[in-house]
Amino acid sequence: MNFYVLTLFPEMIEQGLNTSIIGRALEKGLLSLKTVDIRNFSENKHNRVDDYPYGGGAGMVMAPGPVYRAHQYVEELIRNEKNTAEFTGGINITGHEDINDSNTLKTNTKKTRVIYLTPQGRVFNQTMAEEFAKDEDLIFLCGHYEGIDERILEMIVTDYVSIGDYVLTGGELPSMVMIDAIARLVPGVLNNDVSAEFESFQDNLLEYPQYTRPEVFMERSVPEILLSGHHAKIEEWRKQQSILRTANTRPDLLEKAVLTSKEKKFLHD
């Protein structure tokens, strides 16, 4: 799967994602990550990409031109990569220096999803991560300052996504959050045993509590059932714990969960 990030701060994305599980998947070529510095597409002699808002008000707004050109560049890059099939994974920082590469073949006309990170978008969740993980290529557009000129958003954005009801300084952290959540769903990124396991939000429940060695830590013991070796009983206990946790912290989720009559009884007792 290929991630492209249009940003004013590419180093933030690269440093943030090229580590641990995602870093290893990039190295293996299971994923690729290309950051595109929007500033490289400024036509201003001082490389400015923002300007004062029409109508007045505090802060600056990212101008449409550089974003438009950066997006065109990425679309062309994707077309090239599809046609030359040379995409080998890893991280790549790209500029506009080879935008006029004459090798471009324009046979791939499918538009790639462009996700604009914004507090005004749909709030990201696991179901959306699963949906986005079906695409081969995804383009993320990170805003900064007061945001981006509305006209270019209308032209190129397919999905407006927020990571929660709070305002951050830029779209870089939100895009990293999304890429991490989507990337771990790509086959092979997690080892297969792990990906098959139950995880929070599956079946609208939160995951049960986890324990590892030592068996007793500061006088607190691991629940006995987990040491019993009785798999069916362990599964039942875990499911009950999931239900209790969800009831305590996310009753909104639990409302959507499908419980057996035995589980419902357990919850109400």
Binding interface with ligand SAM (CB under 6 A): 117-120, 142-144, 146-147, 162-164, 166-171, 174
The helix (run of H) or strand (run of E) holding residue 210 is: none
Give the residue with the Cβ less far from ligand SAM, 80 or 118.
118
Spatial separation of the C-alpha atoms in residues 138 and 128, rounded to whole Å = 13
Instruction: Report the alpha-carbon distance of residue 87 to residue 32 in Å, rounded.
Output: 8
φ, ψ for residue 204, nearest 5 deg: 60, 35
Q: How far is the CB of 55 from ligand SAM (least distance, A)?
A: 14
Q: Is 54 annotated as a binding residue?
A: no
Q: Return the residue nearest ligand SAM (CB atom).
A: 143
Nearer to ligand SAM, 66 or 147 (CB): 147
Q: Are 257 and 203 in contact (CB under 8 A)?
A: yes
* Residue 33 Cβ vs ligand SAM, minimum distance, rounded to whole Å: 18
189 labeled part of a ligand binding site: no
Residue 164 assigned ligand-binding role: yes
CB of 217 to ligand SAM, least distance (A): 37
* DSSP, res 170: B
Is 244 marked as a binding-site residue? no
Q: In the complex with ligand SAM, which residue's Cβ is closer, 61 or 91? A: 61
DSSP conformational letter for 166: S
* 107 vs 120 by CB, closer to ligand SAM: 120
Other CB atoms within 10 A of residue 222 CB: 15
We find the least distance from the C-beta atom of residue 67 to ligand SAM, in angstroms, to be: 11
* Least distance in angstroms from the C-beta of 161 to ligand SAM: 7
Contact status, residue 71 vs residue 65, Cβ threshold 8 Å: no
The secondary element (H helix, E strand) that includes residue 63 is: none
* 143 assigned ligand-binding residue: yes
Half-sphere exposure of 203 (CA within 13 A, CB side): 12
Q: What CA–CA distance (Å, rounded) separates 143 from 5? A: 11
8 versus 189: smaller Cβ distance to ligand SAM? 8
Q: Is 17 exposed, middle or buried (0-12, 13-18, 19+ CB in 10 A)?
A: buried
Whether omega for the bond prior to residue 187 falls within 30 degrees of 0, making it cis, is: no
Least CB distance from residue 175 to ligand SAM, whole Å?
A: 8
* Look-up of token digits 């929660």: 164
Q: Which is nearer to ligand SAM, 47 or 169 (CB)?
A: 169
Known binding positions for S-adenosyl-L-methionine: 143, 163-168
Known binding positions: 143, 163-168
